[in-house]
Amino acid sequence: MKFITVALPPNLPKRWTKIYQGRVSALSGKVTYKLRSNYLRRNASWNLLKPWLSNLSHGKCWYCEAKSPRSPFDVDHFRPKLAVTIDGKSLGPEFGYYWLSYEWWNFRLSCQRCNRPERIDQQTLRGKWNEFPIQFEDSRSAPVDMAVEHEAPRFLDPMVEADCQLLAYGIDGEVKPSGDIGTWEYQRAKYTIDQLGLNDWNVPEDRRKEWQGLAIIVSLFGDHPPNHIKDHVNRYLQDDQEYSCFFRSAIGTHRDKQWIEAIL
């Protein structure tokens, strides 16, 4: 999970302001859950921001850093708009953060693996979908108190730099919590890894294999590689590289070499 930073003002597409104002105004007139739900299902205008969101992450999923050229990304609402579940159980009927449905700062570009629900076995349901547990349930926002800053989400948020640092990357290709077992930070990282399936679908194996090839090159050329080798390794550190956080960490295990230290 690579930190996504948005320079302010956010430089949204020009036509968005008008669309946003129209949607928010119309939504405020839908006074029941059913009316709101129907309206939101018919007016998924957040999809217009996909190219803008994708530019921010160089075409990668904000949660897992995968590129999905053959599968369209979703615009995930970090705080779900129409329903909230905790470990698969509904928080209650007709609750969702509908008032954040069109707020750009609630959008996260997500691959379908990270976002959509997928049952792995009887006990395991992957995907963020409507999941949104928080640390203290009695601090949950409700429409009467629409600020959300006081909530402590269990999901790690790619828009929070400190959250991204709660994940560590092993050269075995696996994503792991960086914090101490038993802490809230550890719980958040573990929950995010499990819920989004960050170590599922053979991704660690693929990462490990690619790193093994790269590690041989790094070792083979020792302390004074030719420039094209430096460029080749450096490519894995670029922002548009798939799983760049993993490769940065793996390449960092060779920082005893001066040229590696210099490109990190």
Applying CB under 5 A, what is the total number of residues that bind Zn ion?
6
What minimum distance in Å lies between the beta carbon of 68 and Zn ion?
8
What minimum distance in Å lies between the beta carbon of 66 and Zn ion?
5
Sequence-separated (6 or more) residues with CB below 8 Å from residue 40: 27, 81, 82, 98, 101
x-marked contacts with Zn ion along 73-112 as a string, rule CB under 5 A? --------------------------------------x-
| Between 106 and 110, CB nearer to Zn ion | 110
Q: ∠ CA(207), CA(161), CA(208), 5° rounding?
A: 10
The span from the CA of 94 to the CA of 100, in Å, is 15
| Between 12 and 174, CB nearer to Zn ion | 174
CA distances from 19 to 13, 42, 75, 102, 110 (A): 10, 14, 17, 9, 22
Give the ranges where the chain is alpha helix by DSSP (H).
Answer: 16-28, 33-42, 50-56, 112-115, 161-164, 184-196, 203-220, 227-235, 244-251, 258-263
Select from 139, 142, 144, 119 the least CA-distant residue to 129: 119
| Between 194 and 261, CB nearer to Zn ion | 194
The span from the CA of 242 to the CA of 44, in Å, is 28
Residue type at 235 in one-letter notation: R
The span from the CA of 170 to the CA of 248, in Å, is 11
| Between 106 and 195, CB nearer to Zn ion | 195
Beta bridge partners, 109, equal 75
Return the structure tokens found at 43. 């007016």
156 contacts Zn ion (rule: CB under 5 A): no
| Between 73 and 99, CB nearer to Zn ion | 73
What minimum distance in Å lies between the beta carbon of 61 and Zn ion?
3
What minimum distance in Å lies between the beta carbon of 177 and Zn ion?
18
| Between 40 and 61, CB nearer to Zn ion | 61
x-marked contacts with Zn ion along 108-137 as a string, rule CB under 5 A? ---x--x-----------------------
What minimum distance in Å lies between the beta carbon of 113 and Zn ion?
5
What minimum distance in Å lies between the beta carbon of 100 and Zn ion?
21
What minimum distance in Å lies between the beta carbon of 127 and Zn ion?
10
Burial class of 25 by CB neighbour count within 10 A (0 to 12, 13 to 18, 19+): exposed
| Between 99 and 246, CB nearer to Zn ion | 246
Site residues (CB under 5 A) for Zn ion, limited to 46-65: 61, 63-64
Contacting positions for Zn ion (CB under 5 A):
61, 63-64, 66, 111, 114
